[in-house]
Amino acid sequence: MAVDANQQSTANPFGMDEGCTNCPGLCEPRTQVVHGYGDVGADFLFVGERPSARADAVGIPFLRSTDVNQDEGFAAEGLFRLLQRLGLCASTSDPAEPTVTNVYLTNLTRCRDPERPPTDEEIDTCEPYLNAEIRMINPEIIVPVGERALKAIALEYTTTPAGDLDLERDHATTIRGRGFELVPMIEPTAQTDDQRQAWLEHFVELMASDYRQTKGRQER
């Protein structure tokens, strides 16, 4: 598995295996392997469960069909719209190839079966890709998007037992990790207006704070 950064490309900048066959059950239904996207020097790393249907088609994590509607622009409920509101995604960028700043986007698994979520075994098999990205990027803040991402990140990268976490309760809060902090997020399309606003306000406060003090890292 190659992990050399090539920031000439925003898509799969670490040159990870785009023909991966480690999960036989995902090879046939997928359109392509969807590795990470964004800035390899990012402070903010967003991690979802699996590629969306649109991400499977175009190769960009978190992208949804409504995000590439040229008439309407980015969907108000989509992650890229939230990144725009935070100043982390250019509103003038091509929605099919968003320009993000200080952000890296990835998933627990890199392939999509449209009929089912990934199995625990598939998440475990794909974990070396995520681990490599976290080590190479060395982020300050990890944003687990969704319940499964929160539990997986907590299990591997914090001292907080996964059973002690609850996405509804921990949404828009900060949890200390090993050398970074977690800011859990309910899936953008499942958020209420109040939940969306709470998360944005919390993240704006965090961005304005001295969040880089977490750089005193332990080896992971």
What angle do helix axes 120-137 and 147-157 make, rounded to 10 degrees? 60
Please report the pLDDT score of residue 157 as a whole number. Answer: 87
pLDDT of residue 93: 76
Q: For 81-99, what is the mean pLDDT? A: 89
Give the structural domain span for 70. 29-209
So what's the pLDDT on residue 68?
Answer: 46
121-142 burial, b for 16+ CB within 10 Å, e for fewer?
A: ebbebbeebbebbbebbbbbbb
SS3 (DSSP) at 196 = helix
CA–CA gap between residue 58 and residue 111 (Å, rounded): 12
164 lies in a domain? yes
Domain contains 19: no
Of residues 95 and 11, more confidence is placed in 11
Q: How far apart are CA 10 and CA 181, in angstroms?
A: 24
120-153 confidence digits (pLDDT tens): 999 999 999 999 999 999 999 999 999 999 999 9
Q: How far from chain centre, in Å, is Cα 161?
A: 21
Indicate the pLDDT class of residue 70, thresholds 50, 70 and 90. Answer: very low
Report if residue 2 sits inside a domain: no
pLDDT of residue 191: 94
Per-residue pLDDT for 118 more than 80? yes
218 lies in some domain: no
Question: In terms of pLDDT, which residue wins out, 178 or 29?
Answer: 29
- Assess if residue 216 is contained within a domain: no
Q: Which of 123, 109, 122, 27 is nearest to 61 (CA)?
A: 109
Residue 165 pLDDT > 90: yes
Asked whether residue 3 is assigned to any structural domain, the reply reads no
In a domain, 167, yes or no: yes
Would you say residue 115 has pLDDT above 80? yes
Domain with 201 in it: what CATH number? 3.40.470.10
pLDDT at position 9: 86
What percent of the chain lies above the pLDDT cut of 90? 73
This prediction has a pTM of 0.90
The count of structural domains within the chain is 1
pLDDT recorded at residue 4: 56
Residue pair 88/82 in contact by the 8 Å Cβ criterion: no
- pLDDT (average), residues 45-56: 96
Q: Is the pLDDT of residue 42 over 80?
A: yes
Q: Kindly state whether residue 143 falls inside one of the protein's structural domains.
A: yes
